[in-house]
Homo-oligomer: A and B are copies of this chain.
Amino acid sequence: MSNTAEEIEIRFRDNLISSQLIETESSGLLAVSGGVDSVVMAYLFAQVRDNFRLTLAIAHFNHSLRGEESDTDEDFVKDLAKALGMPFFSEKWTSSERGNWEERAREARYSFLNKTRQQLGYDWIATAHHADDQAETLLMRLVEGSGYRGLRGILERNGKVVRPLLKFSKAEFTHYAGENEISFREDSSNQDTRFRRNRIRENILPQIKKLNPHFSQTAQRTASNMVEIAEWVEEHLHDLYGRAVSVSDKGFIQIDGKELKKVSSFLQKELVREVVNENDLPWRGHVWNNLNHFLEKATVGDIMVLPGDCKILKDRDRFLVMWETNLEDLNAFQLDIATPVSLKVRGHNFTMDLTKEPTFSSDGATEFIDFDQLDHGSLHLRLWQAGDRMVPLGMSGHKKVSDILVDAKVDRFSKMSQYVLTSGHEIVWLCGLRLNNKFKVTSSTSSVARLNWSHAERPEAH
């Protein structure tokens, strides 16, 4: 890299323009550790500050990893901020746990940056990731097992975080610092091969660079290719999501089986992944294989367990998706009837109020009951339980709730999360489905309560 410092500045400025990563007249938080990469980034941004009419600040996350040395780093960056005329923000992190340190430190660092950006109203955060980081990341992702999403590597833009240095190498920063007599702090943790990334940096990358000295640029190209594919898949997925995903009348996410059949098995699986979890973690290979098989071959009633405590049920013309935690969260709610009740139960809204004008609905979402029949001290909303019985409206004998659900052709998932409104030991309402005959409104009813059970809003594609 024989580029002069001036050439690096020009390339930085041109890239800021062509990549459209940041807008002119915007405000940004520069994440500066004190190492050569982030220090040079601060100088490069200072160079273009007036030109782009930027408002800049420096944020430093003190990992407290190396005791006093870490505090000296912080002082160094604070002085740098002062020298460049930028406000300085920092946070000190202490963590006694040693396991998975890297990942937790990373989360804490981004949490600090995001919080600071939001609180102070800055538009974006810039980090100093460069081409060599990209090469390491791509290798790490390949080693860990990543599909095309993981192989996008470090993204040039990820939400409010931008990486304007991905096309530059560390060697260029060192050169820039040398030519401009810029001082920086050595990050001693970089030489510590206890960490996965550093193992790749110290032991594997040098070997690879013997085969391809330009591997950093090569990696950035591969990452770009994956970004392009991922964006393209995203487009198609977004369309498909709009056509195929909705909320069932029981409040579950449902995927239209016919719409699913119209697309390739690749997109089918991607859609399920999108519905089930929205992060980039790669699913295990066998999950993909099983999911493939399930989407193709499942018959009505088959259930597949997916990552993230998720289950998927093959129903007639659809797949129903539900989370284990849907059920775990469902504690019984004790109701206070003195005031109108409005409760959010996962996936549903429940309301109860007094009314003077009972009407009749046919969909079961709204029911009217004789308020005086209730045992007001013990009103509960809970999941139905094995053994629950009630006298359905218009009948005289008790019937098992499980039988009522079977007769109503309620699918297995909905059945598992069917709510009941109870009063004392009696079931008042099999919510949204059937009223207990005992609580019906009659000619002698003096006080009418209106009950409503409706499912929550449709999930949004993102």
Contact = CB atoms under 8 A, between A and B. Distances in A.
Interface of A: 138-139, 142-148, 151, 196, 199-200, 203-204, 207-208, 210-212, 215, 217-222, 224-226, 228-229, 231-233, 235, 264-267, 285, 288
Given A221-B285, A221-B288, 8 more contacts: A144-B212, A146-B222, A147-B226, A148-B148, A151-B222, A199-B210, A217-B285, A229-B266
A266 B231 contact: yes
21 contacts: A142-B222, A143-B208, A143-B211, A143-B212, A143-B215, A143-B218, A147-B226, A148-B148, A199-B211, A200-B211, A203-B207, A204-B204, A204-B208, A207-B207, A217-B285, A220-B285, A224-B285, A224-B288, A225-B288, A232-B266, A232-B267
Contacts of A217: 285
Contact of A145 (B218, B226, B229, B266): B218
B235 A264 contact: yes
A147 B210 CA distance: 21
Nearest to A232: B266
Contacts of A220: 285
Contact of A231 (B200, B226, B235, B264): B264
A142 B231 CA distance: 21
Contacts of A235: 264
A285 B232 CA distance: 19
Contacts of A267: 232
Copies of this subunit: 2
A266 B229 CA distance: 7
* Chain A interface SS verdict (over half): helix
Contacts of A207: 199, 203-204, 207
A284 B264 CA distance: 30
A215 B146 CA distance: 11
Instruction: Name the residue in A146, A217, A265, A266 with the highest tally of chain B Cβ atoms < 10 Å from its Cβ.
Output: A266
Nearest to A196: B211
A326 B221 CA distance: 32
Given A203-B207, A204-B207, A224-B285, A145 B212 contact: yes
Contacts of A146: 222
A139 B138 CA distance: 11
A215 B145 CA distance: 8
B145 A222 contact: yes
A264 B232 contact: yes
Given A142-B142, A143-B218, A221-B285, A148 B226 contact: yes
A147 B228 CA distance: 10
A218 B144 contact: yes
Given A199-B210, A204-B207, A211-B196, A228 B143 contact: no
Given A199-B210, A203-B207, A208-B204, A266 B228 contact: yes
| Interchain residue pairs A-B with the least CB separation, the first 8 | A145-B218, A221-B285, A147-B225, A228-B266, A232-B266, A203-B207, A204-B207, A143-B212
A232 B270 CA distance: 12
A267 B235 CA distance: 12
A145 B135 CA distance: 11
A264 B230 CA distance: 12
Contacts of A196: 211
Nearest to A214: B145
A264 B264 CA distance: 19
A218 B203 CA distance: 20
Nearest to A228: B266
A208 B203 CA distance: 9
Contacts of A233: 229
A305 to B, nearest CB: 20
Contacts of A229: 148, 229, 233, 266
A154 to B, nearest CB: 16
A448 B164 CA distance: 72
A41 to B, nearest CB: 23
A288 B218 CA distance: 13
A217 B288 CA distance: 14
